Amino acid sequence: METIQLEIDGKKVEAERGTTLLQAARKAGIEIPTLCHDDRLAPFGACRLCLVEIDRGGRKRLVASCAYEVEDGLVVKTVTEKIVKIRRMIVELLLAEATTGPLEVLAEKYGLKGSRFKGDEPACFLCGLCVRYCAEVKKKDITCFIGRGIGREVAFPSDLARSACPLCRECLPLCPSGAWYSLYLKGYEGMPEEAGPRPGA
């Protein structure tokens, strides 16, 4: 493994080539907020909370630190006025959908009392942690994304997929919005007892 040097928030940081800015920052004790990231999963880049500013020879750019690989000599800032503004707006957008644990913490951090957007009911953030955990770690494809644009949803592709669920329930605590829990419960309604204990039962 080749070790390279970069600078994050003024700190000289060492990182292994092929790792991400997020990993390098966390290793150096610099916290970057994330909602769709999980070390066990491939970078997804959906929540955009982890945006940081990179500077390469004076050319500045915002990138998702969870997906951007470290580069030698890169200068990174994890907090700028612009970044804070963006993160605030992202949290505000999501606050309209749900007000669960991780989001509450972020709202507090960015000084948000509520959202200017009105939500309907607790909704999924589509971070995909449940879908990806099931596919990448458990090697099952019990759920998937369906639809696109504002119609995108997490769903069971078929009854067959659902009945193949090992009911490990490891995906449940991953959910940052709480929406997965209710979908999960709904999805397993009417499942025969011999399929094992029902989640939440």
Partner 1 sequence: MAKLRSASELKKFRKDILAGRDPARPCVTLCLGTGCLACGGEQVHRAFIDEIARQGLVGKVDVRRTGCHGFCERGPLAVVFPREICYLKVTAADVPEIVSETLVHDRIVERLLYQGDDGKKIVHENEIPFYKHQSRVILGANRLIDPNRIEDYIALGGYSALAKALFVMTPEEVLDEVKRSGLRGRGGAGFPTGKKWETTRDAHGETKYVVVNADEGDPGAYMNRSVLEGNPHSVIEGLIIGAYAIGARHGYVYVRQEYPLAVANLTVALEQARDLGLLGDNILGSDYCFDVAVHRGAGAFVSGESSALMAAIEGRVGEPRPKYVRTAISGLWGKPTNLNNVETWANVPAIINRGADWFGDIGTAGSKGTKIFSLVGKVKNTGLVEVPMGTPLRRIIYDIGGGISSGKEFKAVQTGGPSGGCLPAAHLDLPVDFEALERAGSMMGSGGMIVMDEGTCMVDTARYFVQFLSEESCGKCVPCREGLKRMLRILTGICAGRGRPGDIDLLEELGEVMSEASLCALGTTAANPLLSTLRYFRDEYEAHIQEKRCPAGACKELIRYHIVPEKCQACMICARSCPAAAISGAKGQVHVIDQSKCTKCGVCLEVCPSRFAAVAKISGKPVPAPVAAGTRIQGKK
- Which positions lie near partner 1, rule CB under 8 A? 43-49, 51, 62-64, 66-69, 82, 85-86, 89-90, 93-94, 96-97, 116-117, 125-126, 128, 145, 147-152
The partner in contact with residue 86, picked from partner 1, ligand FES, none with C-beta cut-offs of 5 to 8 angstroms by kind, is partner 1
The partner in contact with residue 50, picked from ligand FES, partner 1, none with C-beta cut-offs of 5 to 8 angstroms by kind, is ligand FES
Closest approach, Cβ 192 to partner 1, in A, equals: 32
Closer residue to ligand FES, CB minimum distance, 37 or 132 = 37
Closest approach, Cβ 45 to partner 1, in A, equals: 3
Closer residue to ligand FES, CB minimum distance, 82 or 186 = 82
Q: Cβ–Cβ contacts within 10 Å for residue 115, how many?
A: 16
The tokens describing 93, both together, are 């957008």
Closest approach, Cβ 126 to ligand FES, in A, equals: 11
Backbone dihedral region for residue 74 (phi beyond 0: left; psi -120 to 50: alpha; all else: beta): beta
Closer residue to partner 1, CB minimum distance, 60 or 195 = 60
Q: By the criterion CB under 6 A, which residues form the site for ligand FES?
A: 34-37, 45-50, 64, 66
Sheet holding 75-77, edge to edge: 11-16, 3-8, 75-77, 51-56, 59-64
The partner in contact with residue 104, picked from ligand FES, partner 1, none with C-beta cut-offs of 5 to 8 angstroms by kind, is none
Closer residue to partner 1, CB minimum distance, 101 or 147 = 147
Displacement of CA 82 from its chain's centroid (Å):
21
